[in-house]
Amino acid sequence: MFKKILIANRGEIALRILRACRELNIKTVAIHSDADESAMHVKMSDESVCVGPAAAQLSYLNIPAIITAATITDVDAIHPGYGFLSENKRFAEIIEEHQIKFIGPKSTHIALMGDKIKAKEVMNENGVPTVPGLNDLKDVSKVKKFIEDVGLPVIIKAASGGGGKGMRILNNIQNLEKTIESAKIESKKAFNDDTVYIEKYLANPKHIEIQILADAAGNIVTLGERDCSIQRKHQKLIEECPSNILTQDQRNEISDLCIKAIKSIGYEGVGTLEFLYENNKFYFMEMNTRLQVEHPVTEMVTQIDLVKEQILAAFGKSISFNQNDINMKGHSIECRINAEHPETFIPSPGKVNQYHQPGGLGVRVDSAIYPGCTVPPHYDSLIAKLITFGDNREDCIKKMKRALEEYVILGIDTNIQLHQKIIQSEDFISGNYNLNYMSRFD
């Protein structure tokens, strides 16, 4: 097994990886910026290295500094977590060049799935349904013909995109060229790539994603689905597993198609295939070639440690179970707790004066904050993930309602109150919600 892993991340995911490493008897190296010198992942790791000043570009995105830290601490592998460099093809390539193991897929697979156009081509070849789209937008007449065929509205997306960047909805054909240009400018700024494509816009879909795990021997399993439809500006807020609208036949069918597609490219490690789901039909959107923020809900329902499995797969171990061994039991919900105002959504960095996290049977908190810590203004506002598990969805919601009431974070604003409103709303309780749910709060 790996002897020492460098964790190229911060916050709750750095702690999550650290704990998995400890249970596998693997030493850890934490990297941190100046702003995170007193962070919990730094305090708990076996070694730590400062890789730069507060700004992410100069620290957590500073590839030369991270590679230097890995070299001087003599690590076997680097775990990127999620965000930052986790889906950066060049980062994975450089790690491979330094004979250090990247805990994730091969750089070629990051590149393949990172290009949404190429990813859709792979899925189409394997019978995975995709949203009707057009990749080449150079010929305006062809674009207009496509729009005429599928009807308005349509959506323009960045080929290298994520998080809603480079994304524009077109409702009026007269705004076509202006909207495409706007999407290209934002895409270039966010991803240094102005390639965009166009798709039919689904008006009221759900966001359903399939978790997969693959090893170097070609074994692949799916670990059920997650419903991630509660989103604000394409950022997920609440996720649950399993979805309450899929039949077992639908679940089996889409899982089998995902396995076929992943097998065709020789993928290794964990990954998630994301779909829009409307009128009983799946439409592939993209694949995330990393651990997802919402992985805990899958862990709760399957009782499979995804981070450990990811590390074992990276080392070359075969998956120790098969599809028939996976027993989906109960229901799990995750609320992302962000340091932001619950109504204006303005980020709220600062000192945490008081902190009390909920507990009890079926309650899990993944967080790296503590009383007296400072939430810096330089990074994503996610500060905790509150996860509950119950025998069924109703029981799980009751536990989440109680856990949110118990959760105390003073000194900064959080979105706990917003989660309370959502969890208690009639639409959420009934499961009658889709991607447009959060528009009522804007």
State the number of CA atoms in the 13 A half-sphere of 18 facing the CB.
Answer: 25
Q: Return d(Cα 227, Cα 431) in angstroms, integer.
A: 10
**Spatial CA neighbour of 232 closest among 102, 335, 103:** 335
- pLDDT tens for the chain, 442 residues long, are 999 999 999 999 999 999 999 999 999 999 999 999 999 999 999 999 999 999 999 999 999 999 999 999 999 999 999 999 999 999 999 999 999 999 999 999 999 999 988 999 999 999 999 999 999 999 999 999 999 999 999 999 998 877 678 899 999 999 999 999 999 999 998 888 999 999 999 989 999 999 999 999 999 999 999 999 999 988 999 999 999 999 999 999 999 999 999 999 999 999 999 999 999 999 999 999 999 999 999 999 999 999 999 999 999 999 999 999 999 999 999 999 999 999 899 999 999 999 999 999 999 999 999 999 999 999 999 999 999 999 999 999 999 999 999 999 999 999 999 999 999 999 999 999 999 999 887 6
CATH of region 132-200: 3.30.1490.20
CATH of region 4-86: 3.40.50.20
Q: Return d(Cα 185, Cα 295) in angstroms, integer.
A: 33
Q: Is 364 one of the catalytic residues?
A: no
Give 221's strand partners. Answer: 213
Sequence-distant (≥ 6) Cβ neighbours of residue 49 within 8 angstroms: 29, 30, 31, 32, 69, 72, 73
Q: Where are the domains of the chain?
A: 4-86, 132-200, 206-441
CB of 262 closer than 8 Å to CB of 220 = yes
CB of 389 closer than 8 Å to CB of 364 = yes
* Common-topology check for domains 4-86 and 206-441: no
Query: pLDDT tens for residues 144-173?
Result: 999 999 999 999 999 887 767 889 999 999
Q: Return d(Cα 177, Cα 428) in angstroms, integer.
A: 38
Q: Which of 16, 290, 336, 364 is catalytic?
A: 290
Q: Work out the angle at residue 348's Cα, subtended by the Cα atoms of residues 346 and 351, and round it to the nearest 5 degrees.
A: 175
Q: Where are the alpha helices (DSSP H) in 83-194?
A: 89-97, 107-114, 116-125, 140-150, 176-191
Q: Does domain 206-441 correspond to CATH entry 3.30.470.20?
A: yes
Please provide the average confidence, as pLDDT, over all residues in the chain: 96
Query: pLDDT tens for residues 289-332?
Result: 999 999 999 999 999 999 999 999 999 999 999 999 999 999 99
Task: Give, for 70, the enclosing helix (H) or strand (E).
Answer: helix 63-72
Please, what is the angle between helix 176-191 and helix 140-150, to 10°?
A: 100
Q: What is the pTM of this model?
A: 0.93
CB of 408 closer than 8 Å to CB of 354 = yes
Please, what is the angle between helix 306-315 and helix 295-302, to 10°?
A: 100
